[in-house]
Amino acid sequence: RLALGLAYVDAEIDENVFNALGLPIAVKGNTIPFAPEIQASLSASYDFPISATLRGALSASYSYRDATESDAANTPFLRNDS
């Protein structure tokens, strides 16, 4: 059995957001925190008989998650690598 998953999200902030002091905490056009643009997964499994009452199984999987931002300001040193 094979399984494949793929997701694409274009998530960005729609408008500037300011704190109580008037300082920007989110800038229009920045990426929404922890929202990867691309995620993918692949898995494979194989079941097989060992005896009349016993079965064996082999499986493997892989997943990928694009880099994400940790805050709404998209601070470079807080970026989460893929």
**What's the pLDDT tens digit per position in 29-67?**
999 999 999 999 999 999 999 999 999 999 999 999 999
How far apart are the C-alpha atoms of 53 and 37, rounded to whole Å?
46
What are 4's strand-pairing partners? Answer: 42
Q: What is the pLDDT of residue 25?
A: 85
Determine the pLDDT at residue 75. 87
- pLDDT score of 36: 94
Q: Pull the structure tokens for residue 29.
A: 């056009």
Predicted pLDDT at 47: 95
Averaged pLDDT score across all residues of the chain: 93
pTM of the model: 0.71
Per-residue confidence band for 2, with pLDDT thresholds at 50, 70 and 90: very high
d(CA 51, CA 81): 46
